[in-house]
Structure 1
């Protein structure tokens, strides 16, 4: 089916809409902007609608500040108009419309044109008849590069496209450390570097340009670390007072959950973060065959990948930690 979509793209120009998930990370922005740059170079009219803004470092991605990008939370009327005018919608890096947030979800569900899903998360929503879904892939950005290859379109890949796709691959593979990294992943990265993407510059932009608030946030989170289930699980937490003390801004806690896995013997790490709406956002990471996607789906209305997932709870932080301690201890026993 995805080849039918590529064939349709070759036949004439289209009004194309690209969306991605709420709180867009490096792979969400990398795949969306990378695909947008490619489609624009191929002659299409393309708009990217983001539910909300990404972290400051990711906002430095090539094309983010361009006129073809709309942040719906900041310009809702403009986003709605883009949806009305588009005839083809690419949904990137999310498996169900609920992940785009409450404002955009009905627009995605009611979109009148053709919808195409490109994603590597488990259990894609049946709304998307046309879908390129592959849970074995380490990033949606790698999947976009595969589409470009299938379209025989590398001649339309410029440095901006390559930089975004390589950024997405770097962030979602843990700088090529995760088991989803394959020989094909590395070959794709090499091809993007040949075009002009600079991995050292991407790393500097993403990981070596932190605000002081990020360091303070990590300090609070690491200080809170607790081991449970006989040392097989770690919980880190950030309460509202921690966030206020750190001067927290969106994106400051990204990657913090991974530090739990750095403790010898830990198989599952969980980060709990209170938000302004009274919910506790949950990030899960695991090693080996520990399926945190299934755990998050079963207990916390979440999901994601086998070794990386998210969830949320309306319980207070202390009560949630108590409940989570019990559930993890039973699961890991």
Structure 2
């Protein structure tokens, strides 16, 4: 039995007369403690797929199950990390995490909650900034605070919805390494959405492309047969890394070209509609009207 499974899932929006089919015939099986990356272009439906896994979206047809049971909605067993850090600006790093811990673990004592919060703050290397508010942090530090909040829920599945896409290359690399170190330590199940081939090959056990939308579906997977831990500094010399990177990039570019070929340059003619004339009728100057009523004034006689 799969730990997390989507079976023949379709997702569409809108009324039947103008319905948009976003995802079609999605089949995904994730093992416990596996790291799976879904890779695709912007607008293909990656975030919709992640919302299905988080229980934020229900399928139009098909089923989403976790440990063999239907998924009825969101829950703390699935920790979702968004593209945006989503921290409350008026709360400190500590209090943003505390808000989540209070909600999920109300039975813990005040000290136990504090210890738990500080544990994850230290894990993401923010031990120097627990009292800082989001506006006092860099973009990378905000994302680390968001990661600490997600991890503090002790989720069985960690869902990463392109959380590093807005970061600079150096900060992105640093947080990638932190996520990998955390995963190596306690081996949670991870499903990551990304549009970065290098990131997917570096981090995942399996990489599954999402085809172009509408009616996007999951294509044939790529297995990452590379030893762990992986050293980013030597990846460009690793033959398996280069092979996977080349094959996945070629596959994605072929998808993009196929999508372009399906598009037509049909010009839809505009209806021949003449605009209404809203101009006012020309009015006779007032002095002429008065002249016509009172007569033309006689010229003054010379003195």
Same fold (TM over 0.5): no
Larger relative contact order (C-alpha < 8 A, sep ≥ 6)?
2
TM-score with structure 1 setting the length: 0.26
Normalising by structure 2, report the TM-score: 0.28
Give the structure with the higher percent helix: 1
